[in-house]
Amino acid sequence: MSDSFQTLIDRAAGGAAIPTAVVHPCSVSALEGALEAGARGLIVPILVGPQHRIDALAAETGADLTAIERVDTAHSHESAAKAVELVRTGRAQALMKGSLHTDELMHEILVKESGLRTERRLSHVFALEIPKQPHLFFVTDAAINIQPDLLTKADIVRNAIDCVRALGIETPKVAILSAVETVTPRIPSTIEAAALCKMADRGQITGGLLDGPLAIDNALSVEAAETKGIRSPVAGHADILVAPDMEAGNMIAKQLTFLAGAQAAGVVMGARVPVVLTSRADGPAARLASAAIAVLIARAREASLAADLKA
């Protein structure tokens, strides 16, 4: 099991670096995060953005870009399009968001003819390292799907399971959250939680152990689960917390960050390659941890494809 961000970074640094298109790294934190990930041996950064702005930032920070490939663009829209093109042509195996708006990057990824869509819906996974907690927690979806329906939630769960399995947790425990732990028709998220669990029972969702609906207290606390008479291998032991909607997921992640001192990293799943999606306000540390997660996911996908070819 992956116990910390440092564990993930060390593991990612132990293999071949992944060519990564860094989209519009036109802020100090975006550029430094990409270069630090490159220096640690996680990625081979390809800087996609206005070269004069990137060079000016490098001069300001003292960064040496001599050995770094750069793709010149006129603006952030072109940066996103060029970065996606690098993936489609096989020159990059991951994307890293720089100092552009998330919508700009997502738009290019989702373009039907030239983007990176798959049969899955895209969704975001937060990895959270919380002080004094023995393992990482994963919260989804807190950034992309505003009010997901049942089928979208199924993809959100599948994406999260794929993400966490790539990080070393063979059978992640998945808590489908609601306000209560009983199926209540007046709270639609409890119905959907129960449906997702039945989908897992029928093999429509695989790779993880699901339970829900669970309130967040009995998803995280064995004592709370026992007090309420909940007998479940997931209750009190959840790895993945699946929020009922984006608002709830975002609040959970940010409350843990700002009130519990959690460190957060983030990645988008469901596209042809993992997408490092951090806030423009995030510093190099968050970008480094997110890059490590994307690298491990990219390697897991490559290994899976190689195994399929051999079969």
Most confident of 27-31, 200-204, 257-261, 302-306: 200-204
Longest dimension (CA), the chain: 62
Q: What is the mean pLDDT of the chain?
A: 93
Report pLDDT for 279. 73
Cis peptide before 141 (omega within 30 of 0): yes
Average pLDDT estimate for 23-37? 92
pLDDT per residue as tens digits for the range 46-82 = 999 999 999 999 999 999 999 999 999 999 999 999 9
Report pLDDT for 287. 80
Average pLDDT estimate for 186-190? 97
Report whether pLDDT(302) > 80: yes
For 190, list phi and psi in degrees, rounded to 5: -70, -35
Report pLDDT for 134. 86
Average pLDDT estimate for 274-296? 84
Q: What is the DSSP string of 101-139?
A: -HHHHHHHHH-TTTS---SSPPEEEEEEE-TT-SS-EEE
Report pLDDT for 23. 96
Task: Give which of 46, 38, 41 is closest to 11, Cα–Cα.
Answer: 41
Task: Give which of 259, 270, 57 is closest to 155, Cα–Cα.
Answer: 270
Domains detected in the chain: 119-270 (3.40.718.10)
Average pLDDT estimate for 114-132? 93
Confidence bin at 1 (pLDDT 50/70/90) = very low
Confidence bin at 132 (pLDDT 50/70/90) = confident
Q: Phi-psi region for residue 281, left (φ > 0), alpha (ψ -120 to 50) or beta?
A: alpha
Report whether pLDDT(309) > 80: no
Report pLDDT for 75. 95
User: Of 20-24, 27-31, 71-75, 91-95, which range is least confident?
Assistant: 27-31
Report whether pLDDT(311) > 70: no
Report whether pLDDT(3) > 80: no
